[in-house]
């Protein structure tokens, strides 16, 4: 693995550097507006790329804004690479609205792992909720067949986990089995962020350290609050990423200290 270039550590963090590709809204908190600041509070350097920039989230009667396409995403990646700024410890992805953009994300994963083979890819496969898709149906097979196998951690909700596993989740046992199916497909860490069972909300987490051993699993009972929230899943995924241990090598730590010295402690 190549060490991170000095320029990429001008504003260094011993915790890690995150490239976060998610949505952005001018008003309200979803996507990068929910994820970036909490990760910074946890000590991460975070570089956001906004997959969309909307006036407000799409739950309102109307919204306006811009959608980044795959080539525009790749232009940004090439700009970072040209300046030796493409060293990341983590990649975080959230809402993606087209198959072409999602396929370009796969190229970004390959590119980042060519620079840092130990890159942790945390994927929130945002596709829908409560039985309703709010992305094109074509994205489901791309997530299932291409994205899940390269992800390090997956954070679907109940509906998304059902789409990815083709398993109907109606019990805690089903939720745990869905995690097992996803482990077999790729990611070592899976968190199903909300399962509605008889009016009760459960979170189920699962970690399989290696394929020879059964995963360690847990559940959290979530109190139901009679209110409507947005961006909570984006925040949850960011906090989960923020608690994945990241260990920089001795050489990387030395570069960090050198940068701190020559940048006047910034």
Catalytic positions, written as ranges:
234
As a whole number of angstroms, the distance between CA 157 and CA 99 comes to 20
Distance between CA 94 and CA 51 in Å, rounded? 9
Which residues, in sequence order, are CB contacts of 118 under 8 Å at separation 6+?
Answer: 1, 89
Residues 13 and 90 sit within 8 Å (Cβ to Cβ): no
Find the largest Cα–Cα distance for the chain. Answer: 59
The tokens 């040209």 sit on which residue? 82
Token digits of residue 54: 């909307």
Q: What's the rounded Cα separation, in Å, for the pair 205 and 202?
A: 10
Per the CB < 8 A criterion, the answer to whether 35 and 94 are in contact is yes
Please return the burial class of 35, using the count of CB atoms within 10 Å of its CB with bins 0-12, 13-18 and 19+: buried
> Which residues share a beta bridge with 216?
207
């Amino acid at each position: 693995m190549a060490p991170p270039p000095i320029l990429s550590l001008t504003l260094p963090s011993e915790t890690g550097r995150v490239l976060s590709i998610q949505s952005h809204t001018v008003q309200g908190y979803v996507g990068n507006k929910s994820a970036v600041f909490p990760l910074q509070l946890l000590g991460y350097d975070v570089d956001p790329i906004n997959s969309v920039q909307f006036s407000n989230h799409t739950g309102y009667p109307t919204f306006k804004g811009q959608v980044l396409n795959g080539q525009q995403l790749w232009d940004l990646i090439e700009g970072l690479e040209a300046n030796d700024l493409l060293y990341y410890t983590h990649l975080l992805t959230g809402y993606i609205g087209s198959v072409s953009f999602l396929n370009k994300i796969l190229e970004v994963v390959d590119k980042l792992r060519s620079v840092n083979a130990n890159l942790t890819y945390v994927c929130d496969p945002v596709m829908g909720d409560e039985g309703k898709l709010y992305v094109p149906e074509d994205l489901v097979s791309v997530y299932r067949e291409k994205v899940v196998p390269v992800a390090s951690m997956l954070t679907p909700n109940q509906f998304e986990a059902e789409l990815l596993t083709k398993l109907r989740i109606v019990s805690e046992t089903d939720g745990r089995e869905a995690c097992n199916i996803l482990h077999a497909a790729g990611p070592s860490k899976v968190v199903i962020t909300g399962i509605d069972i008889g009016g009760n909300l459960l979170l189920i987490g699962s970690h399989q350290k290696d394929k020879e051993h059964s995963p360690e699993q847990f559940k959290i009972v979530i109190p139901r609050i009679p209110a409507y929230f947005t961006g909570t899943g984006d925040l949850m995924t960011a906090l989960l990423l923020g608690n994945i241990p990241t260990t920089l090598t001795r050489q990387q730590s030395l570069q960090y200290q050198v940068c701190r010295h020559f940048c006047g402690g910034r």
